[in-house]
Amino acid sequence: MSDNARIDIRGKSVDLPIVEGSEGELGLDISKLRAQSKAITLDPGYVNTGACTSAITFLDGEEGILRYRGYSIEELAEHSNFLEVSYLLIYGDLPTVEQLEEFRRNVTMHTMLHEDLRHIYEAFPKDAHPMAILSCIVCALSTFYDDFSHRDQSAVDLAVWRLVGKLPTIAAWSYKKNSGQPFVYPKNHLDYCANFLNMMFSVPAGPYEVPEVFAKALNVLFILHADHEQNCSTSTVRLVGSSQANLFASISSGIAALWGPLHGGANQAVLEMLMQIQNDGGDVQKFVNLAKDKNSNFRLMGFGHRVYRNFDPRAKIIKRYADEVLKIVGVQDPLLDIAKQLEEAALQDEYFVERKLYPNVDFYSGIIYKAMGFPIDMFTVLFAMGRMPGWIAHWIEMHNSDAKIGRPRQIYTGPTQRSYQQISQR
């Protein structure tokens, strides 16, 4: 095979280097295309454009494969824990016992928030969306800590520990702010997920014991969400970071990008769809039929995936935990009943089976979060907590490469040059 691809642009031939990834992916290096031909590529949504090379996550949508640093998501979800996976993504290899204990200890040392941050929480209106609070508080961290160079490894490590350690506290306090309950401080003798659940659901007036199955399911969900290649929010973190914006500001921008209903808000959209079905009388088959009707605007949320053309490997893993959580709490919530009926109807319907429109991770995660007692507007916050190590890993990788500041081109389609007219003559 040639190491170059030749394209002809209005009679001018241009040779473009072919870049091959470690899993056989092919790409055309177009970095010199404009200089050689005065032409650029046009790719709305960047669906066929590689913005970088990366050694963090491999995703094969056709085969339903997801690997972090070469390790399959199935093995990591079965045998690992979230902090171990965080270390893997950020530093490149699975930690030794000593390395993991040191990482856990350093993260745990930074679970507390500066008391002055409470004043920022108090300034938000009662119904402020927790994703807005999350993004704001993460960005505000840059005002509490000295700026640092990405070349200073010890400073980068400290920022990593602070972000991973403080995010559960930031997230739980955003819920407490809206619920009107007192803020609950972290208890560092608990593990990562149990500590977060305690800050979410305990109150000073009485004891609270974290259900073990809840902490385990949340740990797996965080692992499944920890990274997903060059998605919207990760690309945003890289783009903002390419301007040499600090890590806190870059992560804050990623949280804002994740907020959108087409990205991290998808599991929230699942529950809103279930409420729509419930409010209409709860006839699941009616809405299954509507989803198949080309003349209907209704679509089933949480089925199929933009990248995975076969099945979402994360959904196969989390379905088991969804069943366990529902068994523990008892399916007494009408929305959860509808979800189970919808899952069964779609999996048995030829229309969905032929098109491989299987329930995805957003469908099952929304069900689990609802069963655990999380309010719907916290679902995307939970997504952000899981995605944090992936964002950090990409920010570090971007700075350690020869990446330039992000600056996409455009094809201008506006008016050609016009003469200015005085306002009295218009």
Residues known to be catalytic:
305, 362
Q: Helix, strand, or coil here: 14?
A: strand
Contact 363, 317 (CB under 8 A): no
> 152-157, long-range: CB within 8 Å, 24+ apart, which pairs?
156/247, 156/396, 157/106
* Phi, psi angles (nearest 5°) of residue 188: -75, -5
**How far are the Cα atoms of 106, 148, 157, 159, 161 from residue 154, in angstroms, in the given order?**
12, 10, 5, 9, 11
- Rounded to whole angstroms, the Cα distance separating 296 from 57 reads 37
DSSP string, 226-239: S--SS-HHHHHHHH
| Helices (H) then strands (E): counts for the chain | 18, 6
- Tokens representing 346 are 């779609």
Burial per residue of 54-78, b for 16 or more beta-carbon CB atoms within 10 angstroms, e otherwise: bebbbbbbeebbbbbbebebeebbe
- Tokens representing 273 are 């769809």
DSSP string, 115-161: TTHHHHHHHS-TT--HHHHHHHHHHHHHHHS----TT-HHHHHHHHH
